[in-house]
Structure 1
Amino acid sequence: MSLGTIDRTPPPFFRQGPSALTKLVLCSALAVFLMAADTRFKLTRPLRAALATALLPVQQALKWPVRLADEAGGYLQGLDAARSAENAARVQLARQAERVARGDQLAQENARLRALLELRPALAVPSVSAEVLYEAADPYSRKLFIDRGERHGVTLGAPVVNEAGVLGQVTAVYPLSALVTLLTDRDAAIPVLNERTQQRSAAFGGAEGGGALELRFVAANADVKAGDRLLTSGIDGVYPPGLTVGTVTRVDRRADAGFARILLAPAAGIDGVRHLLVLQPTAQQMPPRPEPAPEPAKADKSAKGAGKAAAKSGAASATAAASAAPASAAGSRP
């Protein structure tokens, strides 16, 4: 067999066609053309929209298993959370019912004791609800403006509270608004009573940069501990007794100082407060004070003056009688 008759063409498997460089150039040019056409002429937008519309049912169908699994897991978790919340609510309801029962019993016992001791009933404190308008412009003070004023029954010196405790006191009253000075202000002060020891003291604002209160003039060996709750004493004629003021957070006792440094955390949320109550000062609800009795020295002086006046009038009457006697005697002679 001659060599000229042999087929020298490679089989189809080994045929390479165009070179790799040619294919790279063609593909790069096609990619650049498609990007330019899509950006400039929006040629592929209809094709993309049609493809997205055609694939949307497939995408929704593929999402259903994942969505069902997520919803089933969320349902089971929500069911467990609801059961836990229900159990916690039942426990809290039982505790509140017990507390309410004890409160009613204590209220009845208090009424009986007051009737037994012939004490007058506790004062009912009228209140006015208000909303915070804005804070004072002074950055070195802690004051708020509220939307209730003199026309709404707000008086100067009225205490301001919220659901957590005492907030402050009204220090300026306008016809439709009022200025409230918070307890943490550097010029604020309030008499307090230690709930555990029944010891009275005074709390002042401005401690720790204006975010806390401080008990001043308390002896270094006083029975005060961290965690003690302080209430209003009610002896100042402004705040009703029993309102929560704050909790003792730190007690510093120094051997070289006669007083302890005691810091308090205010019970009411000073920052972020929105709604509050303005109470009527207790001094306006109490009966008028009796007039003071005259001093003994003044009474003695008045008695002495009355005695001198009586003596002078007696001497004058005796002189007149003595002068009238000779005249009558002279008239009786023959």
Structure 2
Amino acid sequence: MPLGTLERSAPPFFKQGPSALSRLAVYSALAVFLMVADARFQLTGPLRLAVATVLYPIQWAMLKPVELASRGSGYFQSLQEAQQELDAARQRMTQMGQRANQAEQLELENGRLRQLLALRDRLQTPAQAAEVIYDTADPFTRRVVIDRGQTGGVEPGSPVMDEAGVLGQVTRVFPLVSEVTLLVDRDQAIPVLNIRTGARGVAYGDPVAGNGGGMELRFMPANADVRADDVLTTSGVDGLYPPGLPVARVVRVERRADSAFARVYCVPLAQVQGARHVVVLKPLPENALPRPEPAHPAPAKRGARK
């Protein structure tokens, strides 16, 4: 290419207009003018309204995910708080139920203790209070263990009562505890008296009768005057139980033509299941029993001085 044809002027890319400082000053003055004009004459109000109207759908679409995420986190947080409050309310209800049960149990125990105190005041036989610790593990016997033993003055054969009647008899005594055989044990027998008729008899334990065990009044004649709801008390002829202590109530009488004896079923008045507080009586001394006097005076020996 010949040199004469070359353009010797600078290309447009290298052409310079106003300086950067001049343009900054012009644009700044324009911005200040527009701000002042907008503040005084509201020139850009319609323009802003149009731009806001056009951009509102875009803003709504962009804000929806944020709003949904916020609502979801709030929902799960409120659900977690509601679950925690529900658990706390259930725990409070459980505690209140336990306290109510404890209050009912304490009220029941207080009532039984008052009855035991009143019973001990009425008894003329020396007595001491005791508490049932546990039932024995032997499935073939009906026995409980109380927290009084030799150190507490408990003797073998001592009668044991609760607030309703005779519960059993002390059969084993250890230094700190004692074992009580209940009236419903098959090897336990107690002399009784029917307070309606005055007839005496012997009641034996029957552990299989009823739910918690019962008693049977044996060797009663078939024509004996025994009815349901008759109350049996201790007769005192054995020299062990004081007379007049409540023992059992007759619930059923069976008379058969092929048997000379009636079958009399009874339920103990004492709480043989679940007894907690009891009273241990002193056994009657041998000299407390009335002894029959001889019908004829003993003849004097020969050689005795007058």
Deviation at 1:281, TM superposition (A): 1.3
What aligned pairs does 1:89-104 form with structure 2 within 5 A after superposition? none
- Taking structure 1 as reference, are residues 224 and 243 closer, same or farther at Cα in structure 2, changes over 3 Å only? same
Answer with 1 or 2: which has the greater Rg. Answer: 2
Contact 2:222 2:262 in 1 (8 A): yes
Match of 1:48 in 2: 75
Deviation at 1:130, TM superposition (A): 0.7
Contact 2:131 2:278 in 1 (8 A): yes
Match of 1:172 in 2: 172
Question: What letter corresponds to residue 161 of structure 1 in structure 2?
Answer: M
- Structure 2 distance, partners of 1:171, 1:290, is 29
Contact 1:207 1:214 in 2 (8 A): no
Q: Deviations over 1:137-184 (max 9, x none)?
A: 210100111100111111111000000100000011111111100000
Deviation at 1:242, TM superposition (A): 1.4
Match of 2:249 in 1: 247
- Taking structure 1 as reference, are residues 50 and 158 closer, same or farther at Cα in structure 2, changes over 3 Å only? closer
SS of aligned partner of 1:260: strand
Question: TM-score, normalization: structure 2?
Answer: 0.56
Contact 2:239 2:289 in 1 (8 A): no
Question: TM-score, normalization: structure 1?
Answer: 0.52
Deviation at 1:235, TM superposition (A): 1.9
Contact 1:207 1:263 in 2 (8 A): no
Contact 1:192 1:245 in 2 (8 A): yes
Deviation at 1:220, TM superposition (A): 0.1
- Structure 1 distance, partners of 2:75, 2:278, is 60
Contact 2:235 2:243 in 1 (8 A): yes
Match of 1:163 in 2: 163
> Which one is further off, 230-239 or 161-170?
230-239
Match of 2:214 in 1: 212
Question: What letter corresponds to residue 173 of structure 2 in structure 1?
Answer: V
- Give structure 2 stretches of 5+ with no counterpart: 1-67, 83-121
- Structure 2 distance, partners of 1:211, 1:52, is 54
Greater per-residue helix proportion: 1
Match of 1:184 in 2: 184
Contact 1:186 1:204 in 2 (8 A): yes
- Structure 1 distance, partners of 2:193, 2:77, is 78
- Taking structure 1 as reference, are residues 50 and 217 closer, same or farther at Cα in structure 2, changes over 3 Å only? closer
Match of 1:222 in 2: 224
- Structure 1 distance, partners of 2:186, 2:167, is 14
- Structure 1 distance, partners of 2:244, 2:152, is 26
- Structure 1 distance, partners of 2:232, 2:290, is 29
Contact 2:182 2:272 in 1 (8 A): yes
Deviation at 1:237, TM superposition (A): 1.4
SS of aligned partner of 1:46: helix
- Taking structure 1 as reference, are residues 225 and 207 closer, same or farther at Cα in structure 2, changes over 3 Å only? farther
Q: Deviations over 1:85-135 (max 9, x none)?
A: xxxxxxxxxxxxxxxxxxxxxxxxxxxxxxxxxxxxx98211111111111
Q: Deviations over 1:265-312 (max 9, x none)?
A: 1101101111100011122683897999xx958x65xx2xx59xxxxx
Contact 1:145 1:179 in 2 (8 A): yes
Question: What letter corresponds to residue 276 of structure 1 in structure 2?
Answer: V
- Give structure 1 stretches of 5+ with no counterpart: 1-37, 56-121, 308-334
Q: Percent identity?
A: 51
> Which one is further off, 146-155 or 209-218?
209-218
Contact 1:148 1:177 in 2 (8 A): yes
- Taking structure 1 as reference, are residues 265 and 48 closer, same or farther at Cα in structure 2, changes over 3 Å only? same
- Structure 1 distance, partners of 2:227, 2:293, is 43
- Taking structure 1 as reference, are residues 253 and 280 closer, same or farther at Cα in structure 2, changes over 3 Å only? same
What number of residue pairs does the alignment pair up?
196
Match of 2:152 in 1: 152
Q: 1:258 aligns with which of 234, 254, 260?
A: 260
- Taking structure 1 as reference, are residues 137 and 207 closer, same or farther at Cα in structure 2, changes over 3 Å only? closer
Deviation at 1:43, TM superposition (A): 7.9
- Structure 2 distance, partners of 1:226, 1:216, is 15
Following superposition, which runs of at least 4 residues in structure 1 exceed 3 angstroms of deviation? 42-45, 49-53, 207-210, 287-292
- Taking structure 1 as reference, are residues 150 and 199 closer, same or farther at Cα in structure 2, changes over 3 Å only? same
Match of 1:94 in 2: none
- Structure 2 distance, partners of 1:137, 1:246, is 26
Contact 1:123 1:285 in 2 (8 A): no
Contact 2:142 2:207 in 1 (8 A): no
Higher relative contact order (CA 8 A, sep 6+): 2
Question: What letter corresponds to residue 73 of structure 2 in structure 1?
Answer: P
